[in-house]
Amino acid sequence: MNKPKTYHITTFGCQMNEHDSETIAGMLSQMGFCESPQRDEADVVIINTCSVRENADKRFFGTLGQLKKKKLADPEFTVCVCGCMMQQQHIIDSIKTKYPWVDIIFGTHNIHQFPQLLESVISEKEKIVDVWEDGGEIVEGLPAKRLYKHKAFVNIMYGCNNFCTYCIVPYTRGRERSRRPLDIIDEVKLLVADGVREVTLLGQNVNSYRGDEKTDFADLIYRLNEVEGLERIRFMTSHPKDLSDKLIQAYVDCNKLCNYIHLPVQSGSSPVLARMNRKYTKEDYLELIAKLRKAVPDITISTDIIVGFPGETEADFEETLDLVGRVRYDSAFTFLYSIRKGTPAEEYEDQIPEDVKHQRFNRLVETVNSISAEKNAAYVGKVEKVLVEGVSKTSAQRYTGRTEGFKLINFPGTPKLAGKIVDVKVTEGKTFSLEGEVL
């Protein structure tokens, strides 16, 4: 009997990419492939790339370099690259010249075609570059091999129309397209029937979702809240300019919508926000936070912040520190501004010197972390509802899960807890996680 062919996927970037990789894995399973835990032992390797910052680009080329030896020794070994980087012609050009042995290059808009591309490369032994400039009709019904048993990602919309001046995503993911509400609801019902208890609705800017004339993002939440057996709803990511009062009310009315929001602010300086094309001011943002906290007092809030955007002065940066001190985020992802080819900010004067960027970055991280630690310490003694994911990465005796507010919590447990929502008493608050015991 022939051994089944194997694949390995390496994924860079955001949850969109993680979910795309789940789809690619699902299609490969349908083709009869098995997953290989080791990249070096797989017959087919797929690298799903991210382009959001320069270090993501660098890591991709590093990974590709590691595959060269095996490819040259074994021509049957198939190397496929996809994802956001492939939507940029200059990247395709450099792969063709520096890594001509790559077999398939495809993009973010034609993932559904991957099985045909792979079959044709295996049978014809010809290399393929197939990247679409923009997304056509949304393709429904693709399989997915999920990363987690009890929680799932569900795409509700694709693309981004915001064109923040630093960001490559609108160029790599195309214009906004929303899925039909019924397609989403049917998918969620199927997931629940398969043991899923929590869904994360995905989109670059979920609150500009428009399913049909009657269904905006808040309406979709209300409808999903009715799905029997589903316990938790989350979403990623929302843009402050589109955070409606109706969505804030949905937190109050929909018991399944977790009291957590990731609301990227990017900067605390209104002039910098204007140059970033974010369409809100520092004051607008603080007002939104106040409204959210008034409606949902225990909401946890996280954010993204960019340090060193072109023209950012010391005073601008201090505005960011001031905003962080006022909002007191539960956690924040902090990034050094990275020039992206083809974005408006690439042309901006006053790029900030690396040493200044790093120095500001360190100050910001210190502020953010000390607030996270204080916030987490205040949870000690509280009882939190936790969806248990399984054994913790650090120890087989420790179990891990997320609170409703998306805090990572570790505790002693047993295998039968996996997939259950249990009460856990918090015993310790660390900077990035909590410790606890199951009641």
Name the binding residues for [4Fe-4S] cluster.
14, 50, 84, 160, 164, 167
CB atoms < 10 A from the CB of 133, how many? 10
Which positions make up the binding site?
14, 50, 84, 160, 164, 167
* Range 190-195 contact pairs with CB under 8 angstroms and sequence separation of 24 or more: 191/152, 191/154, 192/227, 192/228, 192/229, 192/230, 193/229, 195/149, 195/150, 195/419
Residue 50 binds to ligand SF4 (criterion: CB under 6 A):
no
Residues from 221 through 260 that contact ligand SF4 (CB under 6 A) = 239
Contact pattern for ligand SAH over residues 314 through 353, marking x by CB under 6 A = ---------------------x-xx-x-------------
Residue 50 binds to ligand F3S (criterion: CB under 6 A):
yes
Stretch that binds ligand F3S, among 63-71, 166-174, 193-201, 226-234 (CB under 6 A): 166-174
Q: Which residue has the tokens 């799903």?
A: 48
Minimal distance in Å, beta carbon 407 to ligand SF4? 24
**Cα(390)–Cα(373) distance, rounded to whole angstroms?**
24
Minimal distance in Å, beta carbon 85 to ligand F3S? 8
Find the binder of ligand F3S among 9, 17, 191, 316 (CB under 6 A): 17
Residues from 67 through 86 that contact ligand F3S (CB under 6 A) = 84
DSSP of 5-55? PEEEEEE-SSHHHHHHHHHHHHHHHHTT-EE-SSGGG-SEEEEEE--SSHH
Minimal distance in Å, beta carbon 383 to ligand SAH? 32
Burial class (CB in 10 A: 0-12, 13-18, 19+), 72: exposed
Q: Are 259 and 296 in contact (CB under 8 A)?
A: yes
Q: Are 364 and 307 in contact (CB under 8 A)?
A: yes
CB-closest chain residue to ligand F3S:
13
Rg (CA), the chain: 22
Residue 167 binds to ligand SF4 (criterion: CB under 6 A):
yes
Residue 49 binds to ligand SAH (criterion: CB under 6 A):
no
Residue 166 binds to ligand SAH (criterion: CB under 6 A):
yes
Closest of 165, 257, 281, 167 to residue 207, by C-alpha: 257
Residues found near ligand F3S in the complex (CB under 6 A): 13-14, 16-17, 50-52, 84, 168-169, 172-173
Residues found near ligand SAH in the complex (CB under 6 A): 52-53, 166-167, 169, 204-205, 237, 239, 264, 266, 304, 306, 335, 337-338, 340
